[in-house]
Amino acid sequence: MTRDDLARYLDIATIAAQAGGKELQHYWGNLKANDVQEKRPGDLVTEADKAAEKAVLTVLQRHVPDHAILAEESGMQGDWDAEYLWAIDPLDGTTNYAHQYPCFAVSVGLLHKGIPIVGVVYNPIHNELYRAATGLGATCNNLPIQVSKTECLAKSILVTGFAYDRHITPDNNYAEFCRLTHKTQGVRRDGAASLDLAYVACGRIDGYWERGLSPWDIAAGIVIVQEAGGYVTGYDQSVFEIRSDRILATNGRLHRELSDELITIRPLDVDFGDA
């Protein structure tokens, strides 16, 4: 694959993300009660999700009709093992969006043989457009970005999230959140994985970990972090696999220290019987 190919796919991803963002702007503050549904406890979908996904898919089907697509709302179109697979989250942070909390994004990532190579994350409310492709660097609103230089956990700020089934499973990230809140200058929980990764890439956040994610949540953000100079692995620093349910992304400098913490923390002893 040439640099020209990558640049072309990056432009297509940008057009698609901006098309989705336009739909999110249209619905922002205008959702009616019946426009918000619950797919499962704690997991919302809105008319904005559906409209944004339709807009993104329209762009991709026009420009790359032979590529496979995995989208959060409509599922798989094509084969998971296709050479090119687009991973789409039309509204990452649906719960935030439904409550008019302005932390959400459109996430458009492209995998080549299972490896993320192109990523665009767009927050239309803050007008921040994060873009990256392998070997082409990472930008926010066309300005180069890079990860922070924080050297240790004690001086860091981290971000994480909690899966929708956290109420019913001990594999819920609570223990990690508590431990690392004490070990750092703070841990944030913003509710949009794609933006969490983008914030690591631009140096606002020093490290990020989470479990229970899907490929569409993280495919785009992974490329952006890596092209900004950061590291992305499993909790144990193993090579990250896009279908893994655990991701660790940092500026690289505190990667080992954060990994060492994550692999030694035991779950909290919590009774989930009344959840």
The CATH number of whichever domain residue 215 belongs to comes to 3.40.190.80
Proportion of the chain above pLDDT 90, given as a percent: 81
pLDDT given for residue 37 in this prediction: 81
- The mean pLDDT of 116-141, rounded to a whole number, is 98
Query: Is 267 a member of any domain?
Result: no
11 and 136 in a single domain? The answer is yes
What pLDDT is stored for residue 35 in this prediction? 78
Q: What angle do CA 215, 221, 224 make, to 5 degrees?
A: 140
Domain boundary among 124, 144, 164: 144
Residues 24 and 118 in one domain: yes
Residues 162, 250, single domain; the answer is yes
Which pLDDT value is given to residue 222? Answer: 98
172 belongs to a structural domain:
yes
pLDDT digits (tens, 9 = 90+) for 130-177: 999 999 999 999 999 999 999 999 999 999 998 776 666 667 888 999
Q: What is the mean pLDDT of residues 41-47?
A: 75
Residue 265 identity (one-letter amino acid): I
Tell me which residue range forms the domain holding 17. Answer: 3-144
Within-domain flag for 275:
no
Q: Are residues 9 and 129 in the same domain?
A: yes
Whole-model pTM? Answer: 0.94
Looking at the structure, do residues 124 and 173 belong to the same domain, yes or no?
no
pLDDT at 274 over 80: no
Please report, for the domain that includes residue 51, its CATH number. Answer: 3.30.540.10
**Are residues 15 and 91 located together in one domain of the fold?**
yes
Regarding whether 225 and 127 lie in a shared domain, the answer is no
Note whether 129 and 68 are same-domain residues: yes
| pLDDT of amino acid 7 | 98
Number of domains in the chain: 2
Residue 272 vs residue 150, higher pLDDT = 150
Q: What is the C-alpha to C-alpha distance for residues 170 and 191, in angstroms, rounded to an integer?
A: 20
State pLDDT tens for residues 93-111: 999 999 999 999 999 999 9
Amino acid residing at 67: H
State whether 59 and 167 are in the same domain. Answer: no
Looking at 123, 144, 165, the residue that finishes a domain is 144
Domain-located, residue 271: no
Q: Are residues 160 and 258 in the same domain?
A: yes
Task: Looking at mean pLDDT, say which of 19-23, 28-32, 244-248 comes out highest.
Answer: 19-23
In a domain, 269, yes or no: no
- The whole-angstrom distance between residue 4's C-alpha and the CA centroid of its chain comes to 25
Of 100, 119, 144, the one marking the end of a domain is 144
Quick one: 17 and 34 in the same domain? yes
Q: Using H for helix, E for strand and C for coil, what is the string for the chain?
A: CCHHHHHHHHHHHHHHHHHHHHHHHHHCCCCCHHHEEEEECCEEEEHHHHHHHHHHHHHHHHHCCCCEEEECCCEEECCCCCCEEEEEEEEECHHHHHCCCCCCEEEEEEEECCEEEEEEEEECCCCEEEEEECCCEEEECCEECCCCCCCCHHHCCEEECCCCCCCCCCCCCHHHHHHHHHHCCCEECCCCHHHHHHHHHCCCCCEEEEECCCHHHHHHHHHHHHHCCCEEECCCCCECCCCCCEEEEECCCCHHHHHHHHCCCCCCCCCCCCC
pLDDT score, position 275: 47
Q: 118 in a domain, yes or no?
A: yes
Look at residue 227 and tell me if it is in a domain.
yes
Residue 168 pLDDT: 64
- pLDDT on residue 152: 97
**What backbone phi and psi angles, to 5 degrees, belong to 17?**
-65, -40
Instruction: Answer yes or no: is 37 within a domain.
Output: yes
- The answer on 211 and 159 residing in a single domain is yes
In whole numbers, what is the pLDDT of the chain averaged over residues? 93
